[in-house]
Structure formats: structure tokens, C-alpha cells
Amino acid sequence: MTSPNVEPRYHLMELPNKVLIGEGILGRLGEFVGDEARKKKVVIASGSNVTPKVKGAIDSALGGTPLWVEVAAADLGNVEKVERAASMSACIIGVGGGKSVDVGKLAAFRLGVSFYSVPTSASHDGISSPFASLKGLDRPYSVMAKPPVGILADIDVISSAPRRLLASGCGDLVSKLTAVKDWQLSQKVTGEYYGGYSASLALMSAGVVLDRSRMIGKFGTESVRELVEALISTGVAAGIAGSSRPCSGSEHLFSHYLDILAPSSGLHGEKCGIGTIMMAKLHGLDWRRVKSALRNVGAPVDASAIGVSDADVVQSLVKASSIRPDRFTILSKKKLDEKRAAALARATGVI
């Protein structure tokens, strides 16, 4: 079987130019950004909860008064707000969690200016990937932008983030296990390009949580640094692959459909982690190991823990593949009906 949507046998690799990671390094942001911070006004996209914690240090580091723009939500309206503020700027810096980084990333891409990522939590791999996940676009999944020019990750700042956010990052990491299996399956069934190196890099990042979940779940300085490095690596894997394939598969489609049915329930990484448990069983992988690892880091392993109904889980399993019919996954192969979807969710303890 050959799909008419098979990607051509070439792709563009775009990767971050530099990464600075360590403890107590937020004050080096001006040096890190360099000449761009001195040419024109720097615009900073940041959430209201994060700004008071880091504004003083960042203002001092940049040696001036950057323009701070509050990002209230990860949607197109906030992207346009940052764009308006940054129309005459040298660069945009996304400071915070997923929404600020994604909004700043897409705004910078649309304006054609440099983007720098300064994560204050490690809740998902968007801190380094060339993709942005936003609401209000014409599709309920991530869109291609560009990777950050640079990433500055202060482990002291990230370690102080709520544990729920760090556990969510672990959920996004384990999802690479089933994303790669879906990619391998598609290569076999449709002839889609499969990049073994980027797939291996993504799997290695997933292994950080699967192999060392008890240590990672302590969320001390050492484990947070390892978590951040793994999340950065998965973003790099997507850049090498030229697509989100090594990082996003059936478990992400499940998460995206849950976003439609229950938009305010659960974090992205939490839903991907729960999806990974079920997709691992469909693939014949050790789904109990996935569930145990997530439990060890404090991530939710069932629908009730994120306020999602059994019916929404079942519908998401049945309908998830319709979100991206061009992307062949285990759900495309299995074609679950409601009865089989409910049996899968019950067998894995998700409902």
C-alpha cells in the first residue's frame, strides 16, 4: 500500500544555534542574546504568573527596558498581540511555560525575526522544537514555525516550577515511545520516510523517564537538568526529521481530540502520557512499564485524575485519527469502534 500523501525523499533540517543550560544563569541572558539585544527593542512574551518572578533579573541582564507583553493564552489572538508589539523589534524572547514559548515562537516566525526560548518550567518539548501548538488556527494540532535561535535554561528557575508541570514534561517524553512505533508502522505500510537517527534520539529521551523514573520523580537539580536536556533533545529530533513524527503519534492525536471534547481538562503532557499507556498496549509494548514510570514521577495515569469522562476517552480513541488522516498510526490500522475503545481503556485502567 502506498499513500498519496507520502512525503518526498528530502527535507529541511532546522536546529537551535546554541543552548545555554545551568544553574543561576538567567543573569547571562543579555550576553546570550548578544548584539540583537542592543540593536532594537527586545520584546518578551511572558505569562502573568511568571513575569514577577523573573522580570527584575531579565531587565538587568538585558541592560535596558525590554517590552514585556503578557500572554494570557496559547491562541492566535495572543500571537497577533505579540506581533504588533514586536513589529519594529530585533527579536522576541519567550519566557515561561508552553504557552509563552509557543506564542512567541509563532509571532517571531510570522515577523521573520529571531526567537529565543527561556523556559521557566519543563512541561513539554516545545521549548526547542520548530512547532507551535495553539488554539484558533485551522487545525487542532501543532503547526510548523522555526526552532529557537537559542535556548537559555536556568535549572534553578525551572526546578522551582510546580511539580505538576515537571511531571507533565515526563508524560510528553514517554510519548516518544509510541510516536516512533507509529512512524515505523507508517514506513512499513505507506512507504513514508523514516529517519532512524532522529527516531533513536527521541527514544533515548523517552528512556530517561522509563529507565530512571524514581530518580527523575524527585525533581532535584540533577533530575530536572536531565529532564530539560531530554526535552530539548526531542525538539532537536523533530528538527532533524523535518517533521513532528519522532515526537508525536497516535498518543498526541488522542490528546488533541481530548482538547476538543474537554478543552480545560489536563495539561498537554498529562494527556499524552495517558494516551501513551493505551497506544503502547495497541502496539504490543510493555504498557505497564509506561504506567509505572508515570506514576513514579507523579503524573496522572487515568482519566479521572485530569477530570475527563469515560465517554470522552472512548470518543477520543475512536475519532483521534480523523484529526490528521494523512498521518498513519496504530489507530489508523486498528480502526477502533466504541466497544473496542472502551475495552482498551478499561484494560489499561485509564477508565
User: Would you list the domain boundaries of the chain?
Assistant: 18-161, 164-347
Is 88 within 8 Å of 112 (Cβ atoms)? no
Span 18-161 CATH architecture: 3-Layer(aba) Sandwich (3.40)
Mean pLDDT over each residue of the chain, to the nearest integer: 92
Q: Which sign, positive or negative, has the C-alpha torsion 247, 333, 312, 285?
A: negative
Model confidence pLDDT, tens digit, residues 291-318: 999 999 999 999 999 999 999 999 999 9
Helices (H), the chain: 29-33, 36-39, 51-62, 76-85, 98-111, 155-159, 163-174, 176-190, 196-216, 221-241, 250-261, 268-283, 287-296, 310-319, 330-334, 338-347
For strand 150-154 and strand 18-22, is the pairing parallel, antiparallel, or unpaired?
parallel
Pairing outcome for strands 91-96 and 42-46: parallel
Distance CA(181)–CA(184), nearest Å, equals 5
**Phi, psi angles (nearest 5°) of residue 18:** -155, 150
Identify which of 278, 331, 336, 330 has the alpha carbon closest to the alpha carbon of residue 302.
Answer: 278
Instruction: Select 164-347's CATH number: 1.25.40.80, 1.20.140.10, 1.20.120.430, 1.20.1090.10.
Output: 1.20.1090.10
DSSP 165: H
Predicted confidence (pLDDT) per residue in 14-34, tens digit: 778 899 999 999 999 999 998
Q: What is the pLDDT of residue 141?
A: 64
pLDDT of residue 140: 62
- Region for 266 from its dihedrals, namely left if φ exceeds 0, alpha if ψ lies in -120 to 50, beta otherwise: left
Residues of the chain with pLDDT under 50: 1-4
pLDDT of residue 88: 84
Alpha-carbon 147 to chain mean position: 12
What pLDDT does residue 171 have? 97
C-alpha separations of 232 from 95, 153, 236, 276 in Å: 15, 10, 6, 20
Say if 18-161 and 164-347 have the same CATH topology.
no
Sequence length of the chain is 351
Looking at residue 8, what is its pLDDT? 52
End-to-end CA distance of the chain: 35
User: Count of CB atoms within 10 A of residue 334's CB?
Assistant: 17
All three cell numbers of 73, joined, read 493564552
Q: What is the pLDDT of residue 40?
A: 72
